Structure 1
Amino acid sequence: MLQDRHGRIDYVEDGSGPTIVFVPGSWATGAAWRGVIEVLRSRFRTVTTSLPGYGDTRDWRTSADTSIDRQAETIEAVIRHAGGPVHLVGHSFGALACLDVALCGLLPLMSLTLIEPVAFGLLRQQSELALHDRFIAMRENYFRAFESGDKEAARQVVDYLSGEGSFDALPCQMRQNIVEATATHVLDMRSEFDPRLSAFANILLPSLVIRSESSTQSLRRTAEILSGALANASQCTIPQAGHFMLATHYAELAERIGDHVAKTEALAWSSLSIASPFGLGSLGRAV
């Protein structure tokens, strides 16, 4: 657990090696990465947290201030404590917060991995208006259902992201957690993260955008647009996975994240070796 000027922040670290900071999405805590971390713990130092309003991370947002900068500030506090530079990995809404951190450029990062970022504003910017309109309609229906007291208003979002019937197919405890966190999620949905597409070209980090094979077309198309906009990005697809793949396809995710981080580390060491006439041993880089 960390403390900053806003209060407590979830913080758990494990293992040794290059540091990966894992950021979960809405409705989740750092525990969502348990399966991925189990695969990677022998090779990397892993750090997990929770976004404001989830787990034990305090939420200081108000209805008048729902900016995604509040999520970014939480992640930045985690990175400062972990000690940089770090490899930053985010899922869903957490991936948007990671993008905000990278765009601000205040802290040293080594690489970026974005798993199904919900950056639906990119659809409008690329004139994918039918897909964008469907998202807006779903979001407005969700807000109306929540404001009218529908306890299962979040069903609309889950089914939109992963297909009709996905909410009912979730384990009972997961459904209950989502229902209990609906008010927090509504603030997430009102964050209005929508930078110009051209801004992403300023992120020079080695980046990996991961999408699933079975989630909504809007998510798949958003991943394509974003990977094309980032200056140094590649994209991959997890076969037969849906949006909540952290629970169902963690081994495949861990393989791709681990490969991306290892490749970035190898390139960094190679660059340092070429830059220094004395070799890596004289640079004192901690591993």
Structure 2
Amino acid sequence: MNAASTMLQDRHGHIDYGEEGTGPTIVFVPGSWATASSWQGVIEALGGRFRTVTTSLPGYGGTRDRRTAADTSIDRQAEIIEAVIRRAGGPVHLVGHSLGALACLDVALCGMLPLMSLTLIEPVAFGLLRRESQLALYEQFTAMRDAYFQAFENGEREAALRVIDYLGGEGSFDALPSRMRQYIVRTTATQVQDMRSAFDPPLSAFANILLPTRLICGERSPQALQRSAEILTRALANASLCTIAGATHFMPGTHAAEVAQRIGDHVSTTEALAWDSLSIASPFSSRSLGHAV
């Protein structure tokens, strides 16, 4: 099946929406500075085994930014995902990267829509470090963030270099193609809003997410991201953590095949368990499997 791209519309404006393939539905949510196309390599590596649905977060691609200076809540990103899930029809397997993974967590915590599983690729849940007294790592992140905000406010054209090099390693920004660097510079104001998103629930709240969840980290990613993923894995009710050798935070682009394998295995295992449950339970109880409460 060829990819079909369209637009959703809600009271705030347009939302990117695309889908292709058949089978269990996976909704892919990109992070900051990314659009639906960032999942192309992963989707190709999945080999047509699934129906794949893509979108973009507020301010990227064709998705209208709905935030204001007074309201940068992660709920605005979650609204996009919820609209996409409703259009796709549930239950769905939800996959998010970076800020997109954080927004997927917000959707799961609300528990209002039918979900089968979560795959979270390095959610930028730095607040977990503070809650678990990992203060040195938390302060490394906040020092970078504050320097980035200051550089942006001072009009520094390549202020975003601080974020890209923090996440991907020194020299990552300069190594990007010129066109991509220009895009990052052009959308830096949007990403500043992303980093001001308010998402810091108590650690105990994550135990309410009963979905089968797989967290994915890169071996070469910042220690702060790896540690926060470990904390989140323990806090969730039904989660496992895996690491991709040689990968950094930008692994959906650099290690697409490995990322696809982890996603595909997780989705297939969840589907198999759901079918096993279906054979011994009523349709109503089996449908509720995987819902967040």
TM bin, normalised by shorter chain, reads over 0.9
Q: TM-score, normalised by structure 2?
A: 0.93
In the alignment, what sits opposite 2:25?
19
Query: Partner of 2:70 in structure 1?
Result: 64
Q: Which residue, 85, 88, 92 being the options, matches 1:82?
A: 88
1:171 is aligned to: 177
State the match for 1:224 in structure 2.
230
Residue 239 of structure 1 pairs with residue 241 of structure 2: no
User: What's the counterpart of residue 131 of structure 1?
Assistant: 137
Whole-Å Cα distance in 2 between the matches of residues 31 and 102 of structure 1? 24
Question: Which amino acid counterpart does residue 191 of structure 1 have in structure 2?
Answer: S
Q: Quote the Cα distance in structure 1 between the aligned partners of 2:177 and 2:269.
A: 36
Gaps (5+ residues) in structure 1? none
Which of 206, 210, 213 does residue 212 from structure 2 map onto?
206
For 2:232, what is the secondary structure of its paired residue?
Answer: helix
In the other structure, the counterpart of 1:8 is: 14
- Asked if structure 2 preserves the Cα contact closer than 8 Å seen for 1:15 and 1:41, the reply is no
Secondary structure in 2 matching 1:275? coil
Q: Secondary structure at the match of 2:45?
A: helix
1:271 paired residue number: 277
* Offset of residue 276 of structure 1: 4.4
Q: Which 4+ runs in 1 deviate beyond 2 A?
A: none
Shift of 1:60: 1.4
Q: Which amino acid aligns with 1:15?
A: G
CA shift for structure 1 position 41? 4.5
**TM-score when normalising by structure 1:** 0.95
Q: Matched residues in 2 for 1:139 and 1:177: separation? A: 20
Cα distance in 2 for residues equivalent to 1:276 and 1:131: 47
Give the corresponding residue for 1:29: 35
AA of the residue aligned to 1:232? N
Whole-angstrom CA distance in 2 between matches of 1:137 and 1:76: 33
Of stretches 78-87 and 187-196 in structure 1, the one that deviates more from structure 2 is: 187-196
Map of 1:144 onto structure 2: 150
Aligned Cα RMSD in Å? 1.3
Determine which of 188, 196, 199 is the counterpart of 2:202: 196
1:120 to 118, 122, 126: 126
Superposed CA deviations along residues 3-61 of structure 1, whole A, max 9, x for unmatched, are 11111000000000000000000000010000111122421000000000000000011
Q: Is the 8 A contact 1:209 1:236 kept in 2?
A: yes
Q: Does 1:95 align with 2:114?
A: no
Amino acid at match of 1:164: E
The aligned residue for residue 162 of structure 2 is 156
8 Å CA contact 1:14–1:41 kept in 2: the answer is no
Aligned counterparts of 1:161 and 1:63: Cα–Cα separation in 2: 25
Q: Which moves more between the two structures, 185-194 or 36-45?
A: 36-45
User: 2:53 and 2:172 mapped to 1: Cα distance?
Assistant: 29
2:279 match: secondary structure: helix
Any gaps of 5 or more consecutive residues in structure 2?
1-6, 288-293
- Larger deviation: 159-168 or 49-58? 159-168
- Per-residue deviation, 1:246: 1.0
Asked if structure 2 preserves the Cα contact closer than 8 Å seen for 1:111 and 1:207, the reply is yes
